[in-house]
């Protein structure tokens, strides 16, 4: 495993220095300068609901039960499954912390996250788990910073109603009908808003990757992308999955689905890939790897439908939907590809 030292840019160094004291206080003692292949690798996972694997029951674990329950972090999320798979292959991870949290924006890597549901809770900055002894940092962020929930609600009348109450955010422009979703984002204020969100994603990924390099200078970083939601042939989304009554992506029009795939998901994937390359880090291209396991791939789907019931129970008398998050099939795909990437990264 190679050792890397990265300098934090001058404009961010002051803020990072303030946070350093908290990190040194909370972090575990640093280990040796470099881990041998047979040594457990000190590891920190980070991310949003796609790393936490929202919707897979039960949430919570033994590390920090209250935080992990508030973050709706699955006990068997992909970091847990990938760690187990790697151990079976002779690669042992010493997971110091899994900080992934549902609803996290990229800036919650370095700032507190105020959580309202399922109960009020303040999650500390995810970077607080890092230190000089950290040898592996893995996870993904960016979708919430992009405003994916707002984009989905812009494209769906049903999500704008009571069925979407549990999905954070409002439609980007509630005054513009959902049927105009694609047109809304391809011109005028909607296009300007989306461009601004992509600029924010790029800036925040820069900040996050620089902070990882600063607080964990000896670590390999594995940036994990998002699995594909819409198939290449969006007409596949017209039919419900076996055993389901709802179409996988509810009332979102086919032209809007094509836009979501090409101009939102693909673009976000490329931004993340490019940033990982700029920093010399590993990128896990789940988008390309899961083209046959989208929300519209029936029995093979790795993404739970927009309004399909997740494994969670009822909230306020209503079942909690997947809201297009990985189901157990998708979680297993995440784990396999992440485990493969980690194994390669640690071998370099």
CB atoms within 10 A of CB 185: 26
In this structure, what token pair is assigned to residue 167?
């999905």
Is 49 a catalytic site residue?
yes
Closest CA to 168 of 93, 234, 104, 226: 104
Candidate list 107, 108, 184, 325, residue with the active-site label: 325
Q: What's the residue count for the chain?
A: 348
Candidate list 97, 144, 156, 218, residue with the active-site label: 144
Contact at 8 Å (CB) between 19 and 196? no
Candidate list 103, 139, 143, 304, residue with the active-site label: 103
Is 140 a catalytic site residue?
no
d(CA 184, CA 172): 10
Contact at 8 Å (CB) between 95 and 43? yes
302: left (phi over 0), alpha (psi -120 to 50) or beta: alpha
d(CA 68, CA 66): 6
Query: 10-26 and 188-215 helices cross at what angle (nearest 10)?
Result: 60
Candidate list 31, 49, 139, 142, residue with the active-site label: 49
| The Cα angle at residue 57 between residues 306 and 247, in degrees rounded to 5 | 20
Contact at 8 Å (CB) between 135 and 35? yes
SS3 content of the chain, % helix, strand, coil (to 5): 45, 15, 40
H/E run at residue 23: helix 10-26
d(CA 260, CA 153): 12
d(CA 99, CA 105): 13
Chain centroid offset of residue 79 CA: 12
Is 107 a catalytic site residue?
no
Tokens 């990938």, located at residue:
82
Task: Indicate which residues carry an active-site annotation.
Answer: 49, 103, 144, 325
């Amino acid at each position: 495993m190679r050792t890397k030292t990265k300098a934090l840019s001058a404009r961010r160094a002051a803020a990072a220095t303030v946070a350093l004291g908290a990190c040194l206080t909370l972090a575990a003692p640093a280990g040796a300068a470099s881990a041998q292949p047979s040594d457990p690798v000190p590891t920190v996972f980070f991310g949003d609901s796609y790393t936490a694997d929202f919707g897979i029951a039960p949430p919570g674990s033994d590390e920090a039960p209250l935080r992990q329950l508030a973050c709706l972090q699955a006990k068997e999320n992909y970091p847990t499954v990938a760690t187990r798979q790697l151990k079976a292959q002779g690669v042992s991870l010493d997971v110091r912390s899994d900080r992934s949290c549902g609803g996290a924006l990229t800036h919650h890597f370095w700032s507190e996250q105020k959580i309202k549901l399922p109960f009020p809770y303040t999650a500390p900055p995810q970077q607080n788990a890092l230190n000089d002894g950290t040898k592996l940092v893995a996870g993904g962020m960016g979708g919430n910073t992009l405003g994916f929930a707002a984009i989905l609600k812009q494209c769906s009348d049903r999500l704008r109603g009571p069925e979407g109450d549990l999905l954070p955010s409002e439609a980007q422009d509630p005054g513009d009908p959902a049927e105009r979703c694609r047109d809304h984002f391809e011109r005028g204020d909607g296009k300007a808003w989306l461009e601004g969100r992509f600029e924010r994603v790029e800036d925040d990924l820069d900040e996050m990757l620089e902070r990882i390099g600063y607080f964990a200078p000896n670590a390999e970083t594995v940036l994990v992308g998002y699995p594909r939601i819409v198939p290449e042939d969006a007409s596949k989304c017209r039919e419900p999955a076996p055993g389901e009554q709802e179409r996988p992506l509810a009332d979102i029009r086919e032209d809007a689905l094509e836009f979501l795939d090409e101009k939102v998901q693909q673009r976000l994937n490329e931004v993340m890939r490019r940033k990982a390359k700029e920093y010399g880090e590993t990128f896990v291209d789940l988008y390309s790897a899961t083209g046959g396991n989208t929300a519209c791939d029936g029995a093979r789907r790795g993404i739970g439908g927009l309004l399909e019931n997740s494994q969670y129970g009822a909230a306020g008398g209503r079942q909690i939907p997947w809201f297009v998050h990985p189901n157990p099939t998708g979680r297993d795909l995440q784990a396999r590809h992440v485990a493969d990437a980690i194994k390669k990264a640690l071998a370099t």
